Structure 1
Amino acid sequence: MNVKHLFPGLRNFRAYLNTASAGFLPLTALKRSMDFLSYLTDFREGVDSVDFLDKEIMENVLEEGKRLLRTDRENLTLTIQTTEGLRRLLLSIEPKKSMNIISFDMEFPSLSCLLKSYGQRYNLELRVIKNRNGWYYLEDIEKLVDDNTFAIIGSSVQWISGQRMNLRELSRIAHEHGAWVIVDAVQHLGNLILYPEKEGVDAVIAGGEKWLLNPSVGSGLMYVSNALIEEASPIAGLLNMKSPVGEWSSWWGMPEKDPWGNFDFRSDARKLDFGGGPPYLLATTLWGALEVINEIGIEKIERHNTNLAGRIKDEILGLGLEIIGGEDWEKS
C-alpha cells in the first residue's frame, strides 16, 4: 500500500528518519480538520451541541483508537499531547503519604519534572532505576518494587536507546504488590504494536506529535483500564459528568435545572475529560491520522519499522561504531 502521496512534506527530504521527534501530518488529517473548520464557519446545525459533536467527531476518533489499541471505546479518551494526560490522570488518583514511585533515569525531562512535582505534593519517595549501558533489566526493577509502591511510571519505548520495555512483566511485578503501571507511549503508539489489555497495563498516554502523525497539533490519546477508571477521582467539571436527562441539549432547556445539584461522574474513561467542551479540532486532526495508520495496519507498520531499524543498526556496526543497549534489542 503506497501512501507517500498523503505526505507532501516528504518532498523536502531524500529520506526521513526523525519521526521519533516529529511525524508528518497526512492529507487525511488536513481534510478532516478543514472540513470541520468549514462546518464551523458556515455555522451549520449542531455547531454548538456537544451531543451532536460527540457523535460526529469524538465517537469516530475514539473508534479509530479502539482499532489501534484493540480495546473498548469506553476505555479511551483524548489528551493534549502526553504530559497533560499524565498530569490529569495522576491528579485523579491520590496515593498515601510515604509511598514510592518507580521510574527510569533516562526518561524524557517532562516526565521527570512531573513525577518530582507529584512526589513533592504527596510526600512520595522517587525510586529511579539506573540504566546499565543504556538498558534496563527486570531484575533491577523488581528489587525496588515493594508493597509500598504506588506505581511504576515510565516510557514503553525509551526515547534515547529505543528499548522496548517488557510491559507484561512490568505489569506482573507491579500488580503482585498492588501497584499501578502507567505508560508514556509517545514513542510507541503508531510505531509498534501496543495492546494495553494484553500487556496488563493500567494506563497508556501518547501525544500525537510523533508516530500518531499529528505534529504541533496538541492532540493525544489516553487508555485507562476499568480498574483505574473506577479508582479515579478527578476534579468535576460539567461535561465529565452524566447528563441528568440523557442529553445535555435537553438539560440546558429545563427551567428547573439546578446547577448546584448533584451530578454523577461518567463511568467510562471520559470521566477524566477536562469537564468543559472537548477539543474537537484536535480530535478531527487525530482522527484523520489514525485512519491512515489503521488502513495500513499497525502489524505491517511494526514489521517495516523493525526491519528498517535493523538495517540501520547493521550499517552502524559495519562502520565500526557502537550502539548502546543489548544486542537482542529487536526482541526486547
Structure 2
Amino acid sequence: MSIYFNTASCGLISEQSADTSVLLYEKFSQNASEASNDWQQRYYWSLKSQIASFIHCNINYIAFIPNMSYGINMIIQSLKGNEKILLYEKDFPSLNQPFENNHFNITYVKDTNDFEIQLEDIEILLKRNSIDIVAISQVQFKTGFNLDILQLSRLCKQYNTWLIIDGTQSLGALELNFDCNAPDVFIASNYKWMNAGYGTGILFMNDEFISQFPPVISGNHSSSLVQEHPDAPINLYEPGHINMHGLAILETELKRKKEISIEKIEQHNLELTHYFLENIKELPLGLVGNYNMENRSSIVSIYNDKNLSSYLSQNGIVITDRFGLIRFSFHYYNTKDELDQLISILKD
C-alpha cells in the first residue's frame, strides 16, 4: 500500500469525480449532441460563476483554457515584443521558456539559499531596469517557496508594472482573493491542487491588461461568446470547443473543496507541513529553506541522497525525485498518521 505525497506533480481525483466523468461519456455514447448542449446550458456559466466566487473576482475576468502553457503562450502573442520582462531564474520552464523563445528583453531575479525570493531584490530590478512585466509563480514547483503576491501586486502597481502569476501550484491549496490588489493576470492548470485531471486550466485577466493587450486569437466559440457578452473580451481566449469532460471533473472537485472550505484545506496542509518540518529537524537531511513556516507552502524539498529516493519508493512513499531534490507535497487527503509513517521511514 503506497502513501501519496505527490500532489505537486499530479493531484488525486476523487471516486466521485471518476464517476462523474464516466457518466458524462455514457451520455455521449447515447446522444452526443444532446449531451453536449445539455452540459453547456446547465454547467458552463454556473462553473464560471463558481470559479469567480472561489477566487473572489468578477465572472467577466474568467476564461477556461486547456492548461497554463496554452494561456501564457497566447498572452505572449498579444504583447508588442519590446516589453522588458522580469522572471525568476529557476521558475517552471513552461512559464519562462515562452518569453525566452520569443527573444524578449529579460532580467532574472535570483534567490537566496536556493529558496527565498526577496521582494526587495525584485524592487531593485523594477527600478533599475524599468521592467514592464513581471511573470512569476506564486508557489515555486521545486522548493515550495510561497511568494506574497498581495505585496508583489502592490509593488508592481507602484512602479506601473504588469504582473502575471502562474498559480498552478497554489490554486486549490491556498486561499485566493482577487477582490483587491490582484495580479493583472493569473493562470493555472487544474491537474495538481485542484485535483481535476489533465486538460483544463483557469485564466483570470483584469480589464486594464486586456485593454492594453487585446487577444489576437479567435474562433467560432469565442466570437459567439463575445457577441453575447461584449463586456467579457477574455472569452476570446476560448476559440474552440471546451473540454466538457475535464470541466465536469473540475466542477465536482470544486464543490468538494467548497464543502470542506479552502480556508480549512490551507490550514490543514500547512499544519501537516509544520509537523513534518518539526519532526525532521534532528535528522541528517538537507532541507531546502529554513525550518520555520515563513513563505512556506505545503511543498517541502530536501537534497537527494543517492539511495534515499529509492529507499522511499521501496517503502511505498510516492514523491518526486527531480533536479537533485526529493519533493514531498501534502494535500487535504493526507493525514498525520501518514506523515508519522514517512518520518519513521526517514529515521530508519
Q: TM-score range by the shorter chain?
A: 0.7 to 0.9
Q: Is 2:241 the partner of 1:277?
A: yes
Q: 1:243 to 1:277 in 2, by over 3 A?
A: same
Alignment of 1:176-325 (within 5 A): 176-215=158-197, 217-234=198-215, 235-242=217-224, 266-268=230-232, 270-325=234-289
Check the 8 A contact 2:64/2:238 in 1, yes or no: no
TM-score (norm 2): 0.77
Q: 1:45 to 1:187 in 2, by over 3 A?
A: closer
Q: Is 2:152 the partner of 1:135?
A: no
Check the 8 A contact 1:28/1:292 in 2, yes or no: no
- Of 168, 175, 180, which residue of structure 1 is paired with 2:157? 175
CA drift of 1:53 comes to 4.2
Q: Is 2:71 the partner of 1:57?
A: no
d(CA) in 2 for partners of 1:70 and 1:243? 22
Give the equivalent residue in structure 1 for 2:62: 76
Check the 8 A contact 2:222/2:239 in 1, yes or no: yes
Runs of 4+ with deviation above 6 angstroms: none
d(CA) in 2 for partners of 1:279 and 1:322? 42
Deviations 1:110-132 (A, max 9, x none): 222122123x1xxx311111111
Q: 1:35 to 1:326 in 2, by over 3 A?
A: same
What one-letter code is carried by the residue in structure 2 that aligns with 1:101? I
CA-based RMSD of the aligned residues comes to: 2.4
Give the equivalent residue in structure 1 for 2:91: 107
d(CA) in 2 for partners of 1:314 and 1:169? 28
d(CA) in 2 for partners of 1:29 and 1:60? 17
CA drift of 1:66 comes to 2.1
Q: 1:195 to 1:84 in 2, by over 3 A?
A: same
d(CA) in 1 for partners of 2:288 and 2:139? 14
Give the equivalent residue in structure 2 for 1:35: 23
Give the equivalent residue in structure 2 for 1:95: 80
Runs (5+) with no aligned partner, structure 2: 297-348
Deviations 1:256-307 (A, max 9, x none): xxxxxxxxx8432642323222222221121111111111110000000000
Q: 1:275 to 1:316 in 2, by over 3 A?
A: same
What one-letter code is carried by the residue in structure 1 that aligns with 2:45? E
Aligned residues between the structures: 293
Check the 8 A contact 1:95/1:150 in 2, yes or no: no
Q: Which has more strand, going by share of residues?
A: 2
Runs (5+) with no aligned partner, structure 1: 1-11, 247-264
d(CA) in 1 for partners of 2:248 and 2:272? 30
- Of 114, 123, 137, which residue of structure 2 is paired with 1:155? 137
d(CA) in 2 for partners of 1:155 and 1:135? 13
Give the equivalent residue in structure 2 for 1:145: 126
d(CA) in 1 for partners of 2:24 and 2:17? 11
Check the 8 A contact 1:142/1:173 in 2, yes or no: yes
Check the 8 A contact 1:89/1:272 in 2, yes or no: no
CA drift of 1:96 comes to 5.5
d(CA) in 2 for partners of 1:143 and 1:166? 17
Match of 1:149, SS state, is coil
